[in-house]
Chain A
Amino acid sequence: MMKNNRHMEKKKVQNTIFTVLAFAFFIFSMLQLDIVPERLMRSFERLTYIFGNMFPPKLNEPIDVFGAAIESIQVAILGTIIGILVSFFLAVFAAKNLTPFKPLSFAIKSFAGFVRAVPALIWALLFIVAVGLGPTPGVLALAINSIGMLVKVYAEALEEIDMGVVEALESAGASKVQVILQGVIPSMLSAFIAWSLFRLDVNIRYSAILGVVGAGGIGWELVKAAQMSRYDEALMVTIVIFLMVMSAEVISEFMKKRANAATAQALK
């Protein structure tokens, strides 16, 4: 009891110290960034002016915002599909319980970890230098960024499957390919679908901004509008991006439900 009390007290003191430090660091950071009230006021004035100029949002020809939005979605779709295919293949070798060779598992996982730690937009920037402007570097950047995440989550899903199933099929004389397609994939299918759809959702978000560095899609339209001080147009592009991202979320949610319902129905 005594000990517990002292522990609680210590925790309380500790938390107070954390709070004070957090606050001090906040003030310090503000000063370092030169965020002072006077500057904020000035910025606020500028922003009211800009927001005033944003309404009503409109489109000036010849900007093809919807075409650009569709290109973004297409970039996202390709990046996701390539990412899924490569990731699944790699994940089979990365999952500790399925890999034929333990160091290979470690190597693939570290590679994925490295790839994941570099943000998608930086990949896009690098791919632009490597392969040139346009949607191609965008697709490749999203693909590689997806691989970074999907290899990890697929491998985890694979590691979670019941190894008994694998043993059972192996002991019935099934070959490696048969074990994976008949036993492993059905066991992890819901996780696979859920993660893949989630990644499509994420990629659509990213694809909207890839254009900012020149990798195709709607992002570039936004940069142009903003640079030319056409704030009404910028707002319109923002709204389109908002709708894109929103609908991606809704659609992927819907598809996830649909996928679950379809398997449920077939098994009824």
Chain B
Amino acid sequence: MGETIVEVKQLNKTYPDGTVALKNINIKAYKGEFIVIIGPSGAGKSTFLRSINRLSEPTGGEILFMGKDIVKAGKRDLRKIRRNIGMIFQGFNLVKRLPTVRNVLHGKLGYMSSVKGAFGLFDQKDVEEALDILKRVGLEDQAFKRADELSGGQQQRVAIARAINQTPQLILADEPIASLDPNSSRVVMDYLQKACREEGFTTFVNLHQVDFAKEYADRIIGIKDGEVFFDGTASQLTDETIEALYSKEKTKKQEAVV
């Protein structure tokens, strides 16, 4: 096991209306791990990912990222932490009117002075890097097209490029292939996995396709009713566990050793 990148301790999230989304989550992730999170919809997968970079505020617990507690970080520190965490969304979330390359460059905003970034004054080095990354996701021909002229799979690759451009320690991908067809899903997952292998990013991916999870994951975490239900390798994930994970009934948690 390499260096610990994220350590989630006793993470809790309760919405103002009393709904409990996350209950005492404890997860440790190491450098370069490709972790897929599965579980029924509404189980709290998305809330968990969004809590890590505080797009959704946790109500209790600690998230240690490279030794710093994200939950307690002030505005300024949060910005610094966030630039080290790339995020990929189900809906791609690109600025549709802007060219692809500009969207990739947005990954650098966290490293720029507020004014320079606001006016999009990117250095030659930044631009060349962005173009290089676009090449790596096979989209150099689309560099100057408007983002919304690209297909869904291509847009998601641009979003991956944007995340890579942050040179992050951690990538969070929230249902990255849920709105894509099977073929583009595979391409996107390949690129995501490749990038993480090459750069040594630790990655959390939420998926609802168990087969994809088994195929790509170094480690699988099952979340049910806001709690960690399973944590182990793909081979440890038996059909019974899967069935229990997705069944409506409350089942006793099945611990697997990492």
- A and B pair up: yes
Which A residues are closer than 8 A to B by beta carbons?
A: 162, 164-165, 167-175, 177-178, 180-183, 186-187, 189-190, 263, 267-268
How many chain B residues touch the partner (CB < 8 A)?
A: 41
A174 contacts B95, CB within 8 Å? no
A165 contacts B118, CB within 8 Å? no
A178 contacts B117, CB within 8 Å? yes
**Complex CA distance for A183 and B97, rounded to whole angstroms:** 10
Other-chain contact of B89, A168, A174, A186 (Cβ < 8 Å): A168
The chain A residue with its CB closest to the CB of B100 is A267
B93 contacts A173, CB within 8 Å? no
The chain A residue with its CB closest to the CB of B111 is A173
B55 contacts A170, CB within 8 Å? yes
Separation in Å of the A169 CB from the closest CB of chain B?
6
**Is B87 engaged at the interface, CB distance under 8 Å to the other chain?**
yes
A178 contacts B93, CB within 8 Å? no
List chain A residues, Cβ under 8 A from B83.
172-173
A186 contacts B117, CB within 8 Å? no
List chain B residues, Cβ under 8 A from A180.
118
Other-chain contact of B110, A167, A174, A189, A268 (Cβ < 8 Å): A174
List chain B residues, Cβ under 8 A from A175.
79, 109, 114, 117-118
B53 contacts A182, CB within 8 Å? no
For the complex with contacts A171-B55, A177-B118, A178-B114, 11 further pairs of A-B residues with Cβ separation under 8 Å are: A164-B91, A165-B94, A167-B93, A168-B106, A168-B159, A169-B109, A171-B85, A172-B83, A181-B118, A267-B144, A267-B145
B114 contacts A183, CB within 8 Å? no
Separation in Å of the A75 CB from the closest CB of chain B?
32
Which DSSP category, helix, strand, loop or mixed, fits chain A's interface?
helix
List chain B residues, Cβ under 8 A from A181.
118-120
Q: Could you give 22 example pairs across A and B, Cβ below 8 Å?
A: A167-B87, A167-B89, A168-B162, A170-B55, A171-B53, A171-B172, A172-B82, A172-B163, A173-B109, A173-B110, A173-B166, A174-B79, A174-B117, A175-B118, A178-B117, A181-B119, A182-B118, A183-B95, A187-B96, A189-B97, A267-B145, A268-B144
**Complex CA distance for A256 and B85, rounded to whole angstroms:** 40
A167 contacts B95, CB within 8 Å? no
List chain B residues, Cβ under 8 A from A172.
82-83, 86-87, 106-107, 109-110, 162-163, 166
**Complex CA distance for A168 and B99, rounded to whole angstroms:** 16
B97 contacts A186, CB within 8 Å? yes
The chain A residue with its CB closest to the CB of B168 is A172
List chain A residues, Cβ under 8 A from B91.
162, 164
List chain A residues, Cβ under 8 A from B85.
171
A182 contacts B96, CB within 8 Å? no
**Is B98 engaged at the interface, CB distance under 8 Å to the other chain?**
yes
**Is B146 engaged at the interface, CB distance under 8 Å to the other chain?**
yes
**Complex CA distance for A189 and B83, rounded to whole angstroms:** 27
List chain B residues, Cβ under 8 A from A170.
55, 82
Cβ proximity bits B183-225 to A, threshold 8 Å, 1 near / 0 not: 0000000000000000000000000000000000000000000
Separation in Å of the A262 CB from the closest CB of chain B?
13
A177 contacts B55, CB within 8 Å? no
Other-chain contact of A167, B55, B107, B162, B163 (Cβ < 8 Å): B55
**Complex CA distance for A183 and B84, rounded to whole angstroms:** 20
Most buried by A among B80, B93, B114: B93
**Complex CA distance for A63 and B118, rounded to whole angstroms:** 50
The chain B residue with its CB closest to the CB of A184 is B95
Chain B residues 143-160 with CB under 8 Å of chain A are: 144-146, 159
Separation in Å of the A117 CB from the closest CB of chain B?
34
The chain B residue with its CB closest to the CB of A268 is B144
**Complex CA distance for A177 and B112, rounded to whole angstroms:** 12
**Complex CA distance for A174 and B83, rounded to whole angstroms:** 8
List chain A residues, Cβ under 8 A from B115.
177
Separation in Å of the A256 CB from the closest CB of chain B?
16
Separation in Å of the B92 CB from the closest CB of chain A?
8
List chain B residues, Cβ under 8 A from A162.
91, 93, 96
A182 contacts B144, CB within 8 Å? no
Separation in Å of the A184 CB from the closest CB of chain B?
9
**Complex CA distance for A89 and B94, rounded to whole angstroms:** 24
Separation in Å of the A259 CB from the closest CB of chain B?
12
List chain A residues, Cβ under 8 A from B114.
175, 177-178
**Complex CA distance for A186 and B109, rounded to whole angstroms:** 16
**Complex CA distance for A168 and B114, rounded to whole angstroms:** 17
List chain A residues, Cβ under 8 A from B95.
165, 182-183, 186-187
A-B pairs, top 10 by smallest CB distance, nearest first, are A173-B110, A173-B83, A164-B93, A168-B93, A174-B109, A173-B82, A171-B87, A181-B118, A178-B117, A175-B114
